[in-house]
Amino acid sequence: MNTSALYRALALTAWIAGAFSLLVGGILVYEHVEAATRDPWKSPQMLALMEKLAAEPKNEALQNEIRQLDLKVRRDFRRRLALDKSGGWLLLGGALVLALAAGNAAALSKAPPLPQPKSDAAGQSLRLASHARWSLAGVGLVVAGSLLIARLGNPSLLPASEAGWQKLAVQPDATPAPAEDVPVRSEFETNWPRFRGWDGSGAVAWDLKGTPGVLWQCAVPAPGHSSPVVWGDRVFISGGKADRREVFCYNAASGGLLWRRAIENVPGSPSKAGDIPEDTGYAAPTMATDGQRVYAMFGNGDLGALNLDGTVAWTKYLGPFKNSYGYAASLAVWGNNLVAQMDSGDTRAEGSKLISLQGASGRVMWERSRPVPASWATPIVVEAAGRRQVITLANPWIIAYALEGGQELWRAQLLENEVVPSPVFAGGLIFALSPGSKLMALRPDGAGDVSKSHMAWASEENVPDIASPVANGEFVFTVTSGGEATCFEARGGKKDWETNLDMEVQSSPALMGGRLLILGGKGALVTLEAGRECRELGRIQLPDKFTASPAFANGRIYLRGATNLYCLGPAEAQTAKPR
């Protein structure tokens, strides 16, 4: 093909590609203009229904009508998006052929270079440099002018001074939270408001005289692994199955059931929950209470807040959780803050997050994404290094967040495997378990990544995989699933003793005064001296199976078994005998 023929072919191709692109582009522009009248959000029909719904928020029929219309406009929208996408590809292809053909045609018609002699090269070079300097000055001015326009065009309403910020921060919120009197801290300390007590340590300072005995026992109406929580004269447990999830309130003095309430019709909760493993069930997370309400989280993601008289304050759906063993992390409570650790995913983070809710309203105060897969540990709130910290564990990170605001404070990459045991805080140190691998003590006063800088000590001896440790500032105690109890010095990590209790243990151990209580899976409650030497002080046998951890309040111990709830007290006050 000679040059002229090739040029003509390229020109013809460019024309055809141009016409094709023109046609496709025209159709797309027409579609775009048409689509403006079909914007789903501006649909007059939808707006009218929404107005109507604002007046009748409970109208189910209206909600269904809106759902149907919503679905229809979404389908139309998706169809149009697909059309736009195909059209976009066609147009891009046409434009590319046009550019290639026109470019090659232009290259063919280009005259070969014919350099002419240059005179005054030095002068030209100087003039070029001079022009470049002026143009640089021009660019500098244009940039400065643009930034000035950006500054003037975006005035800030936020204060310029520190005092202004403080003044703004104390202004009332447009949607103020309901005011209420949150119980004082000493009330939290005397009660048992969450998993392993007010601070999650599993320890109380008081002790019972002698070996505890059963004061009362009553049947547990629904299955669950959650532990009891106690406020004043009331004991709360949760239980449930696929068809019904409930909260039970008992009289702490007599064991009588005061009320039971189902958490149902939770907005957003699917009628059929996903796969919840039978072993873990729906009621593994322990409830929490702030003395105003009790909060119950279930394995399907339902969260309910009940007033102390059993009426529903609010409910919220936080699921679903992708968790191979089922969701089991318990709620943490501090004042009016409710904290839920919602880790999800098999091998990597899949929507894992930590969330703080306002107890009174259920409003989300803050939410933080977490770079971790599913975990089963419960967060604790500690006051350390002059700040309130939420300590969370999950493979591979120990992460501390600010209770107020949720900002990440520090993190340490120290954990392995499936993290079940919860952390505890005593004597200024955080004690955390990497299941089956390591017991660690960390200083909680760091910032950023403290993996290498803040570990006080670590031990690889007799590391549990389920039960959390317990500590009193002087000693740290651990119990493995096989019943191997070990005592470490809290400062330095030296092992003082170990003993095999010859029983299966899933409950976390507890400290009551100077005694270490270990509850076996088959009902043996063993009491050891919490000291430098191992000494068994007593052992009683309860006729039940236990996975939940004990609760302590007002001089009594509450144990949740598979079939019964038990209240233990001083032996002299004992009225009922275990069967």
Partner 1 sequence: MPRRLKLTGALGMLLLAALMICAEQRFPPPDFESGYHLPAPSTPAPRQEWLQYADTGVLLAGLGAAAWLIYAKRSRRGLFWLSVFSLAYFGFYRKGCICPIGAPQNIAYALFNPGYAVPVTTLVFCFAPIVAALLAGRAFCGGVCPHGALQDLVLIKPVTVPLWLEEALGTIPWLFLGAGLICAGTGAGFLICRYDPLVPIFRLSGGTFILTAGAVFLLAGMFVGRPYCRFLCPYGGLLRLASLASKWRVRVTPDTCTQCRLCEQSCPFGAMREPAPPAAQAKWLGTQRRRLGWLLALLPVLMAVGAWSGSKLSPAAAQLDPAVALAERYTLQQSHPVQYGVMTPESLSLQRAAMDAKAVLTAAADARHRFELACWLFGGWAGLVIGLKLIAVSVRPARSDYEPDRGACMACGRCFMACPNERVRLGLMPAAEDPAPS
Interactions with partner 1, residue window 105-134 (CB under 8 A): 106, 113, 115, 121-122, 124-126, 128-129, 131-134
CB of residue 128 to partner 1, shortest distance in Å: 6
Q: Identify which of residues 450 and 516 has a Cβ nearer to partner 1 in the complex.
A: 450
Which of 7, 16, 18, 571 binds partner 1 (CB under 8 A)? It is 18
- Rounded Cα distance, 449 and 110, in Å: 62
Q: Identify which of residues 407 and 575 has a Cβ nearer to partner 1 in the complex.
A: 407
Q: Identify which of residues 452 and 577 has a Cβ nearer to partner 1 in the complex.
A: 452
Query: Which 354-383 positions form the footprint of partner 1 (CB under 8 A)?
Result: 358, 363-366
- Rounded Cα distance, 415 and 237, in Å: 31
Residues in contact with partner 1, counted by CB under 8 A, come to a total of 99
Q: Identify which of residues 140 and 514 has a Cβ nearer to partner 1 in the complex.
A: 140
Select from 529, 510, 400, 419 the least CA-distant residue to 464. Answer: 419
Q: Identify which of residues 69 and 503 has a Cβ nearer to partner 1 in the complex.
A: 69
Site string for partner 1, 58-97 (x = CB under 8 A): -----x--xx--x---x--x---x--xx-xxx-xx--xx-
Select from 56, 378, 327 the least CA-distant residue to 202. Answer: 378
Select from 578, 534, 535 the least CA-distant residue to 559. Answer: 578
DSSP element (H, E) containing 311: none
Contact between 6 and partner 1 (CB under 8 A)? Answer: no
Site string for partner 1, 384-413 (x = CB under 8 A): --------------------xxxxx--x--
In contact, 77 and 31? CB cutoff 8 Å: no
Contact between 47 and partner 1 (CB under 8 A)? Answer: yes
In contact, 197 and 557? CB cutoff 8 Å: no
- Rounded Cα distance, 436 and 502, in Å: 18
Rounded to whole angstroms, the maximal C-alpha distance in the chain is 118
Which of 7, 13, 16, 50 binds partner 1 (CB under 8 A)? It is 50
Select from 258, 283, 285, 260 the least CA-distant residue to 194. Answer: 285
Q: Identify which of residues 5 and 111 has a Cβ nearer to partner 1 in the complex.
A: 111
Select from 317, 335, 406 the least CA-distant residue to 370. Answer: 406
Q: Which stretch binds partner 1 (CB under 8 A): 21-29, 200-208, 277-285, 387-395?
A: 21-29
Q: What is the CA radius of gyration of the chain?
A: 34
Q: Identify which of residues 131 and 244 has a Cβ nearer to partner 1 in the complex.
A: 131
Q: Identify which of residues 72 and 260 has a Cβ nearer to partner 1 in the complex.
A: 72
Query: Which 145-204 positions form the footprint of partner 1 (CB under 8 A)?
Result: 147, 150-151, 153-158, 160, 165, 168-169, 171, 173-174
Which of 5, 51, 572, 579 binds partner 1 (CB under 8 A)? It is 51
Q: Is 273 left (phi over 0), alpha (psi -120 to 50) or beta?
A: beta
Which of 6, 12, 144, 219 binds partner 1 (CB under 8 A)? It is 144
Query: Which 437-476 positions form the footprint of partner 1 (CB under 8 A)?
Result: 447-449
Single-letter amino acid code for the residue at 264? E
551-553: strand order across its sheet: 213-219, 564-569, 556-560, 551-553
SS3 label, residue 239: strand
Query: Which 315-334 positions form the footprint of partner 1 (CB under 8 A)?
Result: 317, 319-320
Q: Which two tokens stand for residue 156?
A: 């800030």
Q: Identify which of residues 88 and 256 has a Cβ nearer to partner 1 in the complex.
A: 88
CB of residue 327 to partner 1, shortest distance in Å: 15
Contact between 513 and partner 1 (CB under 8 A)? Answer: no
Contact between 14 and partner 1 (CB under 8 A)? Answer: yes
- Rounded Cα distance, 114 and 490, in Å: 88
What is the torsional sign of CA 414, 466, 335, 315? positive
CB of residue 466 to partner 1, shortest distance in Å: 29
CB of residue 14 to partner 1, shortest distance in Å: 8
Which of 40, 335, 427, 473 binds partner 1 (CB under 8 A)? It is 40
Give the angle 118-123-127 at the CA atoms, nearest 5°: 115
Backbone dihedral angles phi then psi of residue 499, each to the nearest 5 degrees: -150, 145
CB of residue 489 to partner 1, shortest distance in Å: 32
In contact, 380 and 399? CB cutoff 8 Å: no
Contact between 279 and partner 1 (CB under 8 A)? Answer: no
CB of residue 244 to partner 1, shortest distance in Å: 18
Q: Which two tokens stand for residue 108?
A: 């063919």
In contact, 219 and 227? CB cutoff 8 Å: no
Which of 6, 12, 99, 108 binds partner 1 (CB under 8 A)? It is 99
Contact between 12 and partner 1 (CB under 8 A)? Answer: no
CB of residue 382 to partner 1, shortest distance in Å: 20
- Rounded Cα distance, 17 and 370, in Å: 51
Which of 12, 108, 139, 219 binds partner 1 (CB under 8 A)? It is 139
- Rounded Cα distance, 222 and 261, in Å: 12
